[in-house]
Structure 1
Amino acid sequence: MSTSPQVYVIHENPEWWAPFAAAFASADVPAEQWLLTDGSIDLSAEPPQGVFWSRLSASAHTRDHAQSKEYGRAVLRWLESWGRTVIGGSHVLEFEVSKVAQHAALRASGIDVPHTVAVFGTGDLKERAREFPVPFISKHNQGGKGLGVRRWDSHDEFDAWVDGPDFEASPDGITLIQEFLFAREPFVTRAEYVAGEFVYAVRVDTSAGSFELCPADACVVDPAAGTGATPAYPPFALRDEITADHPLVVQHRDFLRTVDIRIAGIEFVETIDGRLVTYDLNTNTNYNPDVEASAHASGPGEIARFLGGLLSSSSSAA
């Protein structure tokens, strides 16, 4: 690691680094990756000077980095114990890897969230699912990229899946059963926030039925794969009509301030019965290049400026 103060970006997937590296370079902010895939830390040693941004992912286990969650918990606690400036710190990591934590905090802030039951293990999974009308959704508590999300149109089919060889447990053993949200139009919206402030909102097309909604080039999938459907709209497009004054955006900003999350992508759906339902919080947000090309501001650019400002402040105070 460098001996000069800089921004350290803590993560485990180098494929996501390029747009952020370009943004830091453009803003003239010194930054380097800190990959939590292997290694060690001396808990009695002082960390390097700088600003630390954690963008550890709930889906790390899909890249054979399941240990990165625990590695991250240790590193972030170590950094915080030395008083380092950490964005996306240990409390934020807990939101990233637990949809239960997200749901509880969003609901406590007065934000409309889907009716959800968390099932620990499989003992009463089938019984709890029958409390929901069809269709309903099952998903992993520790997800990411929409992995593990399934729609069920029959309780009997769900029962057979739970009892059969294709059942896929969440990495933490917690399965969520959730109401199916009937969207007014076939899209969901992802609102991006940096430094706790609104940057822009993205329309994410769902007409082909995919739940894998990661916007980055590194995790893009064919939204029509296996469906026989052709998407009605581009997979990701800017929603100019969603502004910082939108009532739900105001709620999101208040929520992020309350839970001390500075960088996030928050997903919501507008339902046929007029609800605005927030269903997912991403604390390691990625940005779609097509949206970035048409937006009035850049997500990575705003992050580089934000972290660069923190770095300048911490260096001046040192």
Structure 2
Amino acid sequence: MKIAFLYEHPTWSDALIAAFERRGVALILRNIADLSFDADATDKPFDAAINRINVMPSSERQPQIVFQTLHYLNWLELAGVRVINGARAHFIGASKAMQNGIFSALGLAHARAIAIYRPADALAAADNIGYPVIIKPNIGGSGYGIARYNTRAELAEAIRLSALDLGIDRSGLVQQHIESDGYVYRIEVLGDQLFYSIRQPINEGSYNYCAADGCAAGASSANNHDAIDHDAIDHDAGDFPARDADSPERIEAFSPPESIISAAINIVRHCGADVGGVEYFIDSNTGAPCFYDFNPYSNFVRNGESLFGFSPENRYIDFILASL
């Protein structure tokens, strides 16, 4: 079987590719940064493809790659290629608005949000939601472009100064600000099973809670106006030391309730993904989980074997080979 491995981040997939090689699985490596494809081809270029392409904007690549990737994944599926985390999962992973729609459809608690594409519309949206609000790009990640506005006057001034960053496609969310219990929780799913679960303390001034190797590469920081969250999370909930990207001990395994595991599996399924991560925090006012992110490519935590007692890469490969 010819298996393609689609990737683009400089380091996110190195350990996984090496693990495939150790297992004797020959991959056809496709760096999406160099992608062009014959749109008129009638034969399948390969039997299956593993999509490990993230949608997070970064300084190392042109933003149009995001949309070229979406065209390519749809084209592969039309050609009959089995794609692990195909076009639907990829699109929903890119769209904060779509993720909110999934959470709402499943009846799961989440931060209320209004999608906009004109910065001037942020005022009416924020008036509807109530201050403080979070404004973020619809396509983003690792805290990219996120800003908090405490008052209408602050937001009006930011609009006047053209300071709102709505990201690479100029669409964004005006989102309810919710106080958390001081942690980001993440559940990774393989198919309909729990892969692993971790939590990290929320750190004031840091917005990148990705736990994968190389995650800090090219990540952007949040904007001004007391930008407080990764995705609607209150960093004022407590005092935490600055996050050190080389300190995996700050990431810890935990055992989530079965109800939250089931919710995460349901989210991944409804997003059309084979594998994926779901992030949430605990609303300090209600004590209930508040879901805020679906990520179809955040599968590997640093030092996973020491955290969990198994190799996440090998377990991922077992799942992939059984799925093809």
TM-score under structure 2 normalisation? 0.84
Q: Which amino acid aligns with 1:230?
A: P
CA distance in 1, matches of 2:158, 2:305: 40
- Does the CA-based 8 Å contact 2:180-2:281 persist in structure 1? yes
Deviations 1:214-234, CA, capped at 9 Å, x for gaps: 222313389x99999624996
Q: Which amino acid aligns with 1:217?
A: D
Deviations 1:262-281, CA, capped at 9 Å, x for gaps: 11111000111212111001
SS, match of residue 131 in structure 1: helix
- Does the CA-based 8 Å contact 2:7-2:13 persist in structure 1? no
- What residue number does 1:13 align with? 9
Deviations 1:42-67, CA, capped at 9 Å, x for gaps: 23241333320112222145432312
- Does the CA-based 8 Å contact 1:217-1:288 persist in structure 2? yes
User: Matches of residues 211-230 of structure 1 in structure 2 within 5 Å?
Assistant: 211-220=207-216, 230=241
User: Matches of residues 77-116 of structure 1 in structure 2 within 5 Å?
Assistant: 77-116=74-113
Matched pairs, number = 303
Structure 1 residues 256 and 232: alpha-carbon distance in aligned structure 2, compared to 1, 3 A threshold = closer
2:194 to 181, 198, 207: 198
- What residue number does 2:231 align with? none
Which shows bigger deviation, 175-184 or 213-222?
213-222
- What residue number does 1:316 align with? none
CA distance in 1, matches of 2:131, 2:23: 50
- What residue number does 1:156 align with? 153
Deviations 1:107-132, CA, capped at 9 Å, x for gaps: 11222111111112123212221333
- Does the CA-based 8 Å contact 2:199-2:254 persist in structure 1? no
Deviations 1:22-42, CA, capped at 9 Å, x for gaps: 221233322242111234222
Structure 1 residues 282 and 259: alpha-carbon distance in aligned structure 2, compared to 1, 3 A threshold = closer
Unaligned runs of 5+ in 1: 312-318
The CA RMSD measured in Å over matched residues stands at: 2.8
- What residue number does 1:210 align with? 206
- What residue number does 2:64 align with? 67
- Does the CA-based 8 Å contact 2:133-2:177 persist in structure 1? yes
CA distance in 1, matches of 2:159, 2:299: 32
Which shows bigger deviation, 57-66 or 266-275?
57-66
CA distance in 2, matches of 1:229, 1:204: 11
1:295 to 291, 295, 308: 308
Which shows bigger deviation, 19-28 or 171-180?
19-28
Q: Which amino acid aligns with 2:16?
A: F
- What residue number does 1:250 align with? 262
- What residue number does 2:282 align with? 270
CA distance in 2, matches of 1:132, 1:107: 16
Matched, 1:135 2:132: yes
Deviations 1:265-303, CA, capped at 9 Å, x for gaps: 110001112121110011121423134431133332222
CA distance in 2, matches of 1:38, 1:301: 28
CA distance in 2, matches of 1:166, 1:142: 17
Unaligned runs of 5+ in 2: 225-234
- What residue number does 1:146 align with? 143
Which shows bigger deviation, 34-43 or 275-284?
34-43
- What residue number does 1:179 align with? 176
CA distance in 2, matches of 1:58, 1:134: 29
Structure 1 residues 23 and 111: alpha-carbon distance in aligned structure 2, compared to 1, 3 A threshold = farther
Which shows bigger deviation, 56-65 or 88-97?
56-65
Which shows bigger deviation, 157-166 or 266-275?
157-166
SS, match of residue 124 in structure 1: helix
